[in-house]
Amino acid sequence: MRTAYRTETVRAAEAALMAELPEGALMRRAAAGLAAACAGLLPRVYGSRVVVLAGSGDNGGDALYAGARLARRGAGVTALLLGSPGEDGRPKAHRAALAALRAAGGADRPASAVAGDPAAALAGADLVLDGVTGIGGRGGLRPEAAALARAARASGAALVAVDLPSGVDADTGTVDGEAVRADVTVTFGAYKPGLLIDPARAYAGALRLVDIGLTPPAGEVAAEALQHADVAALLPHPAAESDKYRRGVVGVVAGSARYPGAAVLCVSGALRGGAGAVRYAGPAGEAVLARHPETLVHPGGPAEAGRVQSWVIGPGLGDTPGVEAVLASDVPVLVDADGLRLLDPAAVRARPAPTLLTPHAGEAAALLGRPREDVEAGRLSAARELAAAYGATVLLKGSTTVVASPDPKDPVRVNPTGTPWLATAGTGDVLSGLAGSLLAAGLAPRDAASVAAYLHGLAARRASHGAPVAAYDVAEALSGAWRDVTED
């Protein structure tokens, strides 16, 4: 499990550790890890050209110390100082780190001296270190830093963010203005939620974690991302004495005369999610049977379909009734797509069994009564708010899929798999069938949602290999994704 902690947690853990260590020890550890990561990105350190963008805080200190280490190994290092002016009129900078850089032969200039032509200041650089702001930054980059960040991006140099890409919000993943677009982010002690959640995640590039001995309390994880082993441990496995009913039956209420394909896709996901059988209740039975003859098809509504261990309702449903009947059941229910329209929070809250909602940003925005852009800019808080309002687990789909449970003490789960090629019609139907099937197989809603998102994203990558995919390709790749995870 990859775990992420909020800034206040990281700072508290840092303070506790600093009390036990000689002054400056933590920063030296951070800088040593950072310099080693930079050296690994350069063909050779000796003779390479490194530019350090250094803010006035400890983030700038880390970058300057790392610059000093690279300078001692023969790199030509220049620091551009971005801090606001001190009493002497020069930009403020971490004093000891700047002294170390100078002692190692590095040069420094106020960033204002290159403001007229930032591109020239960065021309010829092999590597740029972004030490403008870390966890102490507030809001997007100021204009001087933004101009240098753009020039760094355009220069073709490897751009390494120190702790965080400057300009992103560490705790929420929001980006309020301009931010550094890094190739690699070297973060210290612990991941921060913003490194895992879009839009900020897209600015971070590849992530490297440097161990500096920090141990934030396990009870204070703010966000977590499953990895193969976590998913393998959560997946259902049939035992020797299993039969199809003991493995769980998932009921699917999806599709309509207008959208029969949604039913087919939802069932295709459900058949590959570990339940022993899939019951389909709705008007698209013929289309479902044509593709999936193993489905137990019931032409009537869900009330007449027989016993199930979970329901999935919503994909392609149109105005077909059924949501009330399903919500009245005493088994876990997943509500997606059309099922989410006009969903009554009180009815969901009153359910005796868990509910899982799987909106995309537009559906979440409608449920929250605010613009879609707000949800996309603040995925973590949107998912949490919805989970609280409905007393339900929420899987918010999109470029970063986020799973929030109704208990605010549970960390949000952030899905690390997937590809933008998934943004194609019908893939959400496959996902809801898959997650519903995992619910029927006995997984808790948070686990069913995050495991489904993980496998779905992995299947999409397998099916895509960099080319467009259709929703059905994703469904067909699910078994391979399952095998990837369990055979690792």
Ligand X SMILES: NC(=O)C1=CN([C@@H]2O[C@H](COP(=O)(O)OP(=O)(O)OC[C@H]3O[C@@H](n4cnc5c(N)ncnc54)[C@H](OP(=O)(O)O)[C@@H]3O)[C@@H](O)[C@H]2O)[C@@H](O)CC1
Residues lying near ligand X in the complex (CB under 6 A)? 10-11, 14, 26-27, 30, 55-60, 62, 83-84, 92, 132-139, 141-142, 145, 162-163, 188-189, 212, 214
Q: By CB under 5 A, is residue 162 in contact with K ion?
A: yes
> Is 55 annotated as a binding-site member?
no
First to last CA, the chain: 15
Q: By CB under 6 A, is residue 468 in contact with ligand ADP?
A: no
Nearer to ligand ADP, 355 or 358 (CB): 358
> Is 397 annotated as a binding-site member?
yes
Question: Which neighbouring-strand residues pair with 279?
Answer: 251, 296
> Is 92 annotated as a binding-site member?
no
Q: By CB under 6 A, is residue 448 in contact with ligand ADP?
A: no
Nearer to K ion, 179 or 308 (CB): 179
> Residue 130 touches which of ligand X, K ion, ligand ADP, none (CB < 5 to 8 A by kind)?
K ion
Q: Taking the CB of residue 17, how many other CB atoms lie within 10 A of it?
A: 17
From residue 155, alpha-carbon distances to 99, 116, 208, 251, 473 in Å are: 27, 16, 23, 55, 39
Q: Which residue is nearest to ligand ADP (CB)?
A: 428
> Is 152 annotated as a binding-site member?
no
Q: By CB under 6 A, is residue 427 in contact with ligand ADP?
A: yes
> Residue 426 touches which of ligand ADP, K ion, ligand X, none (CB < 5 to 8 A by kind)?
ligand ADP
Residue 185, token pair as written in the block: 């982010």
> Residue 6 touches which of ligand X, ligand ADP, K ion, none (CB < 5 to 8 A by kind)?
none
Residue 312, token pair as written in the block: 């999935």
> Is 262 annotated as a binding-site member?
yes
CB of 17 to ligand ADP, least distance (A): 37
Quote the Cα angle for 140-14-133, to 5°: 20
Round to whole Å and give the CA distance between 376 and 478: 27
Round to whole Å and give the CA distance between 195 and 169: 9
Q: By CB under 6 A, is residue 418 in contact with ligand ADP?
A: yes
Residues in the chain: 488
Residues contacting K ion: total by CB under 5 A:
4
> Is 378 annotated as a binding-site member?
no
* Nearest alpha carbon to residue 98 among 89, 108, 88: 108
CB of 176 to ligand X, least distance (A): 9
* Nearest alpha carbon to residue 57 among 164, 143, 149: 164
Q: By CB under 5 A, is residue 64 in contact with K ion?
A: no
Q: Is 21 helix (H, G, I), strand (E, B) or coil?
A: coil
Write the DSSP assignment of 230-267 as a string of letters: HHHHHS----TT--TTTT-EEEEE---SS-HHHHHHHH
Q: Is 375 helix (H, G, I), strand (E, B) or coil?
A: helix
CB of 63 to K ion, least distance (A): 7
* Nearest alpha carbon to residue 63 among 34, 92, 29: 34
> Residue 122 touches which of ligand X, ligand ADP, K ion, none (CB < 5 to 8 A by kind)?
none
CB of 189 to ligand X, least distance (A): 5
Main-chain dihedrals φ then ψ at residue 244, nearest 5 degrees: -60, -35
Nearer to ligand ADP, 353 or 423 (CB): 423
> Is 202 annotated as a binding-site member?
no
Q: Which amino acid is at 336?
A: D
Residue 340, token pair as written in the block: 């989410």
Contact, 288 vs 255, CB < 8 A?
A: yes
Out of 423, 444, 480, 486, the only residue in the binding site for ligand ADP (CB under 6 A) is 423
From residue 415, alpha-carbon distances to 2, 122, 328, 357, 368 in Å are: 11, 36, 30, 16, 22
- Interface residues toward K ion, by CB under 5 A: 130, 161-162, 166
- Interface residues toward ligand ADP, by CB under 6 A: 337, 360, 397-399, 401, 418-420, 422-423, 425-429, 431, 456
User: Which residues are documented as binding site for AMP?
Assistant: 397-401, 428
User: Which residues are documented as binding site for K(+)?
Assistant: 59, 130, 166
User: Which residues are documented as binding site for (6S)-NADPHX?
Assistant: 58-62, 134-140, 163, 262, 316, 360, 429
